[in-house]
Amino acid sequence: MQDPKNIQDIKRPPKELIDALYEHVSSATAAGDLNKMGINNAFIQGPTTYTPGKKIVGPAATLQFMPKREDVYADGEYTDPELQLHRHALYGTQPGDVIVVDALGSMDSGVFGNMMLTYFLGAGGIGAVIDGCIRDFPEAPEELGLWLKGVTPNYHTQTTMFPYAVNVDVNCSGTFVAPGDVIIADDDGAVVVPIHLAEELAEQGKVHAEWEEFSRQKLEAGGDLRLYYPLSDEARPEYEEWKKMNG
């Protein structure tokens, strides 16, 4: 189990980059454009939204759980709380952070409860993507975006797993997430953006959003799907004129 003194903080991207991604890039756009950039599947399958209508974009702090083995972890829920690494995963929270948890897909362990999530929100956290469950769901802060596999009344170490490491590379429901990667999550699900591709994605996403808005307007007016989606070379001059007229 990681020594809390060895936990490293994450590197956070500029706010301007996060804002650009939030404005122009949905999870669907991210998944599609990342595929063109060579990332075959950035979708974190399994966790679904428990807060419909919310969208979050922010850097990932990570928490890794491991299966219990009694000689490695034998503590209860409140035995020396400061040795509980799920607490330390939240201590470094800064405004705009997203907590991503490799919870082994467990459906009988509540990674966080109401009090922990309230602390996370108070520190500036905006959402959680968890390959597992939380507890106290009815009391969870409404301001947080939550992408979960489910909910449970059990606490985090009640059954078969324990928090093992913070801000390390994790396997979140079959998807590789590194601390500091950018999470884009909305009603379609959660996508991880490798930090070195985030700026390019923001640029591509803006272009994508512009031509899709043009195409949407054309399709609403009865335009030919073959001409406008995806945008064909034949329709591009019309699109360029539309861009000039719409600033």
Amino acid at 56: I
Residue 79 or 156, more confident:
156
Q: How confident is the model at residue 76 (pLDDT cuts 50, 70, 90)?
A: low
Is the predicted pLDDT of residue 79 greater than 80, yes or no?
no
Give CA–CA dist 153/101, Å, rounded: 18
Return the closest-CA partner of residue 185 out of 95, 56, 99.
56
Q: Are 29 and 209 in contact (CB under 8 A)?
A: yes
pLDDT tens per residue, range 169-224: 999 999 999 999 999 999 999 999 999 999 999 999 889 889 999 999 999 999 99
Give CA–CA dist 102/220, Å, rounded: 42
Global pTM reads: 0.92
